[in-house]
Structure 1
Amino acid sequence: MADGAKILVIDDEPQIRRYLRVSLEAHDFRIVEAAGGQEGLRLAALEKPDLIVLDLGLPDMDGQAVIARLREWTAVPVVVLSVRADETDKIAALDAGADDYVTKPFGTGELLARIRAALRHTVGASSGLAIFATGDLKVDLEKRQVSLKGEPVKLSPREYDLLRLLVQHAGKVLTHQFILRQVWGPAHESDVQYLRVFARQLRQKIETDAARPKLLLTEPGVGYRLAME
């Protein structure tokens, strides 16, 4: 999916667009550019990109408004690229429907990794596969069975619900509030410490080395991501 994928870059800085075009085309991506939110929305409908890289600080409309408009009609993955490093900005963008968030200045390697993860998440979600595998972890969603290195893993019902949500959105950053709302209900949206306890318990069961997690990754102050390999 990554090879030859079409990426729409929405950013008002010509030098950033130029840098992204050169960097991404070198890895076989096809690039479409927009300098503002309205143009970006028009091109999203016209070009039907596989992924959108979006700056939040646009001259004609805020990037979060662009995400909200996109989510009215498309599930195309959106990777935010912004100088706004505050956790509240990240959470707001992710809750609005962004798949990931990269802070400027950024490394090309990191951005490429986030783009590929978002594209893999799209493929996994659209395929509807009942069996998910990454690293040594295997999850059979139909049978509600989990295994690590071929050995069965026993999870509590709540631990399984948490893992299932992460699997369904594998590769995507999920905010604390989103996870709490989906797994525990709206009344528990602020129980972040409660979620951390369950995430720690889950790591003990699905990670080869819970002290150095490679699957259930923390996005500090924002939420969690299930890595895809």
Structure 2
Amino acid sequence: MAERNASGEYVSLVIHELRNPLIGIDAAARVLARDLGAHPAGRRAALVAEEARHLLDLLESVTDAEAAASGRLRSVLRSVDLAAVVRAAVEGAHLSEHEVRVRGVEGPVPVRADARRLRQVLGNLLANAGQYSPAGSPIDVTLSVDGRPRRATVEVRDRGPGIPAAQRRRLFRKFTRLTTADGTRGSGLGLYISKAIAEDHKGEVSYRPARGGGSAFSLRIPLRTRAAAARSR
């Protein structure tokens, strides 16, 4: 336990030392890109900003993964409309190369949850769907409600190659990296963190091979009960 705490403190220190310079690089590169516009130097500045933002996102993932591994990942639970969270996640996903089709319950779907954390999970599932499927293929997002047990499910389905059976058992383990549609590899932290967030909401994230090809990932969390609604008033 002491070694794990020491390791966590060291990781936090390194992340802190890296984050501030990266924030400065990102901000400066964005200003240069804006001022230089279509000039080749402006395009290079935009690329620097994009890479800095990617590294900042990676640092955030490492922070969350370390918190999940040590049991320190916490969600601030409030009354939330899951349908609104789904819409916000889709709008923020930036999947311009895909047609994202949202189906199912339009809302409200009351849950007791941390909206930011749920958007993080759904954003990860949507990003994976975009990265692991061909450009131009559709992505389906379906929100449904089950009566017994009372829970809500958000399914994200892509039209990619799917996940080989040999790799499915390791999907939600830390640093399990799959190859994307363009041949690059992810950080291996997104699904691990998503699983921890779902469990912190007394829910789960699961995978199934989609009928007709592709992958389907689902986030399931309990619906808000009447008793919980009464307590929140």
> Do both proteins adopt the same fold according to a TM-score greater than 0.5, normalized to the shorter chain?
no
**For the pair shown, which has the larger CA radius of gyration, 1 or 2?**
2
Higher relative contact order (CA 8 A, sep 6+): 2
| Greater helix content | 2
TM-score w.r.t. structure 2 length? 0.25
